[in-house]
Amino acid sequence: MTQTFLQYMDTVPDGPLGVAVSGGGDSLALLVLMAEWAKPLGRPLYSVTVDHGLRAESAAEAQAVSLLCKKMCIPHKTLLWQNHPKSGNLQDNARQARQQLIAGWARCHGLAGVATGHTREDQAETFLLRLKRGSGVDGLAGILPQRRKDGVLWLRPVLEMHRESLRDLLRDRQIAWAEDPSNRDIRFDRVKMRNALEMLGEIGLGVEVLADTASRLQSTRAALEQVSETALRRIATPREIGSVRLDVKALFNEPEEIRLRLFAHCLRWVSAAPYRPRLNALKRALVACHSGQAHSLSGCLLTPDRAEGAEITREVAAMQNCDGAAGVFDSRFACDKAAGNWRPLGKDGILLRPEWRETAESRNAILASPSLWYNNELKSAPFVDKNPDCKCWLRNGTESFYATIVTH
């Protein structure tokens, strides 16, 4: 075990840990390091593999990981990605699915954290990918050593180690690893960046320089997030119905960078979108906000609501109905399970609940509020009814609005 790895593990919280293992060299080496570290300490260790089902070899690779874990006396689970989207960015869709599957597995096991095998080369490649996309400080800060997302603490114990040194570790222990052919497929941007790194190294812009730059930007990002959180509490108010009210004058008194961060965060919180809007679209929406005009972006409606104020609500057309047995609506609300479908109250529903005017909420917020329907009959409108038959509430509460602007 390297000193770098041991120093990192000193920062890990107590409790059982998980290791995400694909069967490739990086994650297998991480598994070995984690096992050798955990055994003398008596720390419970679990491993998981996601079989994306995109290659014929993936099932066999998952089985190979399972057999190795069995020899090492480490419980292992293979999770299958089954609902493949028919369009969009394949690698990004696979990454998001992998995170969600592993997060669910980790929560079920009550794990203190899940380790992934990101390396120094991954950090440099990510920097280049984000540079190509025109990312700001947040994107160029790259992969964080630790991050809490989806209710799970994600750990990167080998982020300061090199890919080849991890493979040397496996060679020393005579452990074979799988090579994913997609890692050589130049159709993928990450592979292009990997190849570009070799050329950039010749002019002094290699892995070390780019990874070090990303690390320095992480402290800049942390400082901006702290300033943003303080400003957010002064400028924006989240509502239990899932909307946000803004003090527009106070928002535009902030420097542009902070203003953009605050506005993007409000949109993401209301829409539960995985990414912030593109910069140009965000700036156009801010211009509309400043001039008191209505605007739509990221599945949200921006509406002037009072002197020097505005409200961000969910756009009804962007929301999807869900089965009443699912217990989750629009990714944000937890709902009582019941017969029927949860859907936005909408124009049809609001006509059936004229008492909505007695609430403290705007019409747009009420239109986008959860409601339960059975055979096209409105059964419950929790944010309007005084005694709703079925209730619905924000899964993470309004305090998450402030907490999630800071990367934990």
Q: Are strands 17-20 and 45-51 parallel, antiparallel or unpaired?
A: parallel
| 24 is known to lie in a ligand binding site | yes
Instruction: Enumerate the CATH 1.20.59 domain ranges in the chain, comma separated.
Output: 236-315+399-403
For 3-214, the fitting CATH number among 3.40.50.2300, 3.40.50.720, 3.40.50.300, 3.40.50.620 is 3.40.50.620
| 134 is known to lie in a ligand binding site | no
273: pLDDT strictly greater than 80: yes
Given a contact cutoff of 8 angstroms between Cβ atoms, the answer to whether 248 and 309 are in contact is: yes
84 Cβ neighbours under 8 A, 6+ residues apart: 53, 54, 93
Q: What is the mean pLDDT of the chain?
A: 93
**What mean pLDDT do residues 92-116 have?**
93
The dihedrals phi and psi of 237, each to the nearest 5 degrees, come to -130, 115
Strand ranges for 270-405 from DSSP E: 295-297, 300-306, 309-314, 322-323, 328-329, 333-335, 341-344, 370-374, 377-380, 392-394
Place of tokens 């079920």: 108
**pLDDT tier at 305 (50, 70, 90 boundaries)?**
confident
CATH number of 236-315+399-403: 1.20.59
Tens digits of residue pLDDT in 379-400: 999 999 988 989 999 998 999 9
| 26 is known to lie in a ligand binding site | yes
pLDDT of residue 324: 82
167 Cβ neighbours under 8 A, 6+ residues apart: 25, 29, 177
Place of tokens 């997302």: 149
**pLDDT tier at 82 (50, 70, 90 boundaries)?**
confident
| 25 is known to lie in a ligand binding site | yes
1: pLDDT strictly greater than 70: no
How long a stretch of residues is the chain?
408
Instruction: Enumerate the CATH 3.40.50.620 domain ranges in the chain, comma separated.
Output: 3-214
308: pLDDT strictly greater than 90: no
